[in-house]
Structure 1
Amino acid sequence: MAHPEDLPLASYGDEESSFYFDHIRRRLPFERNNHYHSTYEIYYLMSGERNYFIKEKLYRIQPGCLVMINRYDVHKSFMSGGPEHERIVINFDESFALSGGQTALPLFSQGDPVVPLQPQEQAQTLQIFNKMSQEATLQKDGYQDYLQLLLTELLLLISRFKQRPSAPAAYPINPLHEKMMDIVQYIHQHFQNKITLELLSDTFYISPYYLSRMFKEVTGFTIISYVNLTRIREAQRRLSETDTKIVDIAEQTGFESLTHFDRTFKKTIKMTASQYRKLYRLPQEE
């Protein structure tokens, strides 16, 4: 959501639709809530500097950086330095990318999600973004088809950009941030088990109060909300990809009772687990 002092430059669709384009220049401090979605995301920073928490790592994003966020990867951007920044965000589902672009989709789950672009690459990318902005704004005859072509062109270009060597963009800003990333990784590896603040405190030799405060500061999550979100994401995968009973999925993903699972799932996904399975169940191979 834009502040009155922000300058929206172009917007089309929404994050969960087949195609979303949003270009905005922000002047005030802005932190996007931790979130994930069923669409792929491309984030491009044009000016300013941002920190980005993606899945298990923290990144510093500078102008000319592309960020590729896979479906269902938890992510959050927040301020680094001054609040002013300009960025473009694209979200799309698999059906919107033409066959040529679909070959590039595995890149969203492979390698570093941050791609620093060289000057010539930035010019190529901005040219596509400008065309997308024009098509989404004017909506002349055939604009959706042209947006599909432009997205496919962008994905193919990014696949070439990622083939060349580049310096990694991930960073532990300091040892404390590195420790928080270790805790995030621990949660990803042990979410099936009971995880408490006291357990993490003992495991990583940090006082519960300090751990709770710093985890929230670095990731934007409370410990319990991150644990539950990790469990729900895995439950979504099992609901769509397996025939496992819901009560068993609840147990396998670390919930102590079906009631707790049902309540947490509905609060997070805005529908029940059975409704989610009916909507997103993938066809099984014979």
Structure 2
Amino acid sequence: MKVYTSADWIAPDEKIAIFKITNYRSEPEHTHTFIELVYIWSGAGCQYVNGELFEVQRGDVLFLHVGESHRFDVNSSMEYTNILFEPDFLTDQSSIKGAAKNFFSLQLFQEFRDLQKPIPQVRFRGRAMLELEELLQTMNEEYNAKKSGYRAMLRGYATLALCMIFRTMQKQSQSSELRGIYDMLPPLLTYIEEHYAGRITLQDLAKQSYYSPYYISKAFKDCFGFTFTEYVQQIRMREAKRKVLETEDSIESISRSVGYADKTQFFRLFKQSFGMTPQQLRRMR
């Protein structure tokens, strides 16, 4: 079995490495001398951890401790974020031995010591999933930009991400039954993100999932606290902001490219979302 060491992937002066991998197919069984977090953005497959099977899809986190063996069997092209870090990344050298044996021996995570051992698979659904995705995207950008203080920023972000994961572990360990409504939503969110620029309706999602438009509408409100329409708007505004900041496209073409033929509506929603017009944001680049 292949054994990966920190030297294979992690820079000695960083103690953490973050990768976003697309079009991934499979991974043979291996183990490693560092801690690994895997977040599934899209696709589906099976993860084997110490010989135990876990089916994974969008919203799932895999927490892989030092020395654990695992491999991926992917059903379709998979996209995921991979966070690798050494046991002492979040603490001082004196705690490294305890951290390598039991992550919850660290003073930082004493509140989660009732977990005893991390659960390999943690499922994020609803609003919690979107919050984790935003945090992971921020971590990836911080790691790649490497601006002054990025190590401290990553240490703080990683602590926050782990606390979110451990809280969800606690809930998951108390009740292993996840409502079908939560497992229904991740593929629908991916469908929205792939088709947001066109006319997309609840009827379209119903065809994708075989649930009724009413049921899907209620699921959005119950799980996220906002409506289907509001989610589509969030996706469109996020992409519009990116294009305003990263391209020289005209505001009108950006408006059309994210699904708004009505320029007035686009300007109103943009200012409502970001507190300024697209032109004002562009001047701040």
TM-score by length of 2: 0.48
Q: Which has the higher helix share?
A: 2
